[in-house]
Amino acid sequence: MSETHPSQHHVTPPRRVFSKPMRARSPDEQPRASTPLELLFDLVFVVAVAFAGAGLHHALAEGHVAHGLQSYGVVFAVIWWAWMNFSWFASAYDTDDVLYRLTVFVQLLGALVIAAGMPSAFDGSFVIGTVGYTLMRVGTVAQWLRAAKNDPARRVTNMRYAKGIMAVQLCWIANLFLAPYTGLWTFFLFFTVELSIPLWAERSAQTTWHAEHIAERYGLFTIIVLGESILSASSALQAGMAAGQWNLALVWIALGGALIVFTMWWLYFDEPAHHLLTSTKAAFFWGYTHFFVFSSAAAVGAGLAVAVDHATGQAHISEMAAGAAVAVPVAVYVLSLWFVHERHRARNMFEQCLFPVGALLILGTPLLYATVLWVGVLMSVMLAMKLFVSCSDQEKIHIK
């Protein structure tokens, strides 16, 4: 008789159940990667980020810098916080049963409505966004209540999350009536309170988030915002070509934009990030400061689109302003990346100063009326210097 190869044995996959106890997952679970449901959730935020970037693009191209930056900061904060809440909860409690998936579907619907409300938010109306955010928070609270029921060791923590989110959500609904009289003051107040909920809740007992999983989730969102930058720049270039306004300046913008986005990606993923998540305090700091990494990366796309508009005569702004639309978000990205990652990894003074000095040089390019290509060249030089120092250190280690 012929022997049956092990791979030929039929293995019955486990059946999906409607509901199982939502207990804390192990922070040492191996392997732990993003699930297909999390990737689907991220796709919804691709739309939201694209709308936010488009709103910033149009505001900057029309010369409404203050309004554009203010509106972009508000709407991106909402996008970032909604995504963060889902990702950290899933890292600790994802059961992937039917009930969990259905609850995430409610959150997905809320995220879609938030995305739909992005354009009106730039016009000062937050009704649609608040409706979507409320729907998403209903699903989030349901998840925390379920976790509180099934995880006695962290019941106080989970109930704090549920109560805090419900209380602040009532404030957001009330803000629809307060905003005409208070402006953005109440937004900043309520958002500050919302940011403090995890700090308060985790004081009782820490949730069991997974460092490698969280680092991967943040890396995927970084790719999302970089992808939005590529899409925004490509759409602007396509519009210029369709209008018959193709010129050499657009070639330099295309080449410079490609260099910028590629080096932004390389610098972020040059080294694994999960080693930096050594404690809950470090994870909070790392996670919160990523707002500047994400928002600046998405803003680069808007800046590239503004540069294209200026090169084709569609933007009524100065050459310096068009250059700043690219240089400023790139410089903020570089500084944010230094603050979040590189300052912890630097092995000498040269590595410690490389990113801040590079950011200052990039900020100075609009003053010299340098093109987008020069920003890309500076980014490439900075990456090359970082790689040279890193590879030299590795060679010394191998020699020893």
Q: 21-37, pLDDT tens digit by residue?
A: 899 898 888 888 899 99
Whole-angstrom Cα distance, residue 113 to residue 107? 10
Tokens of 68: 């554009």
CATH 1.20.1410 assigned to 211-399: yes
Instruction: For residues 105 and 112, give the distance between their C-alpha atoms in angstroms, rounded to a whole number.
Output: 10
Q: Model confidence over 67-119: pLDDT tens digits?
A: 899 999 999 999 999 999 999 999 999 999 999 999 999 999 999 999 888 88
Domain layout of the chain by residue ranges = 36-201, 211-399
Quick one: DSSP state of residue 18? S
* Segment among 8-12, 46-50, 84-88 with least mean pLDDT: 8-12
**Is the per-residue pLDDT at 388 higher than 80?**
yes
pLDDT of residue 1: 43
For residue 288, pLDDT beyond 50: yes
Q: Is the pLDDT of residue 189 over 50?
A: yes
Whether residue 296 contacts residue 329, with contact meaning beta carbons closer than 8 Å, is answered with: yes
pLDDT at 395 over 90: no
Segment among 89-93, 176-180, 391-395 with least mean pLDDT: 391-395
| 203 φ, ψ (degrees, to nearest 5) | -70, -25
Rounded Cα gap, residues 60 and 365, in angstroms = 18
CB 82 within 8 A of CB 114: yes
